[in-house]
Structure 1
């Protein structure tokens, strides 16, 4: 199953020159903890990196700096680690583990932003798959008991 099946295509994004208070307001408005920082290239939105709520706190507030003086581009951790639309779960999880990240922008073949996938998205999908498998196992056991009772 390609990772695009569990990624979110509604990505909250901003340009690198967005002021941090604007980035924080985007997070609040959309109820997310991250914003993908993009650059427009030939009509494509190309991810440069991700700014998280934690980045804003650690890079400005924790250092007693005025967040209004910084932009998303000032604190974005780049270059962006991305995953292709057709990548599988294992490849995606390896990228996350290798880079110590929980969020990955999903890009199309041209490198344009197509979505975002998080560790939470993957856990949610795997939980559903495991639940379905557990249900199938339990159903199989009930079916076998019924069949065996009806056999002479």
Structure 2
């Protein structure tokens, strides 16, 4: 069974709520990131994304050199716990229209982030393994087959008809 911790990035680049948008955007650019977690006192207080920059800073005509991240970041974002099944992660990304999903441990401490790009790359790699495993056989896969149940196992144990 694949959990979100297999997909998430754990080398977090973070900001504090008291930093300016310009400072945070410079860090995002240097790290090639589309989102950055806002951490205060070791707890996740928000997420600042390219969409926040566009919609809450640029479109509003705010000065990024004086605007604090806390005033434009998305507060208290929806998160996944590090033991969340990848299927639930996919549902959150899809249903909420998110490109980034913070990941926290059981105590609520930020431990990672999943981007839609990371998620889809993981899915493509796993699906290739499942397809490779299925090639060379004439058997059909059962219609109730749920790919999410076999992610992380390389297609081992595929249900056959």
Shorter-chain TM-score range: 0.7 to 0.9
SS in 2 for 1:97: helix
| C-alpha distance in structure 2 between counterparts of 1:86 and 1:130, whole Å | 21
Which 5+ residue runs of structure 2 have no aligned equivalent? Answer: 139-161
| C-alpha distance in structure 1 between counterparts of 2:137 and 2:43, whole Å | 48
Report the structure, 1 or 2, having the larger helix content.
Answer: 1
Range that drifts further, 73-82 or 87-96: 87-96
* RMSD (Å) for aligned C-alpha atoms: 1.5
| C-alpha distance in structure 2 between counterparts of 1:54 and 1:78, whole Å | 14
The answer to whether residue 45 in structure 2 is matched with residue 48 in structure 1 is yes
Q: Retained in 2: the 8 A contact 1:49–1:81?
A: no
- Structure number with bigger Rg: 1
| C-alpha distance in structure 1 between counterparts of 2:56 and 2:16, whole Å | 18
Q: Retained in 1: the 8 A contact 2:80–2:102?
A: yes
- TM-score, length-scaled by structure 2: 0.78
- TM-score, length-scaled by structure 1: 0.83
- Tell me the equivalent position of 2:5: 4
| C-alpha distance in structure 1 between counterparts of 2:127 and 2:94, whole Å | 22
- Tell me the equivalent position of 2:133: 136
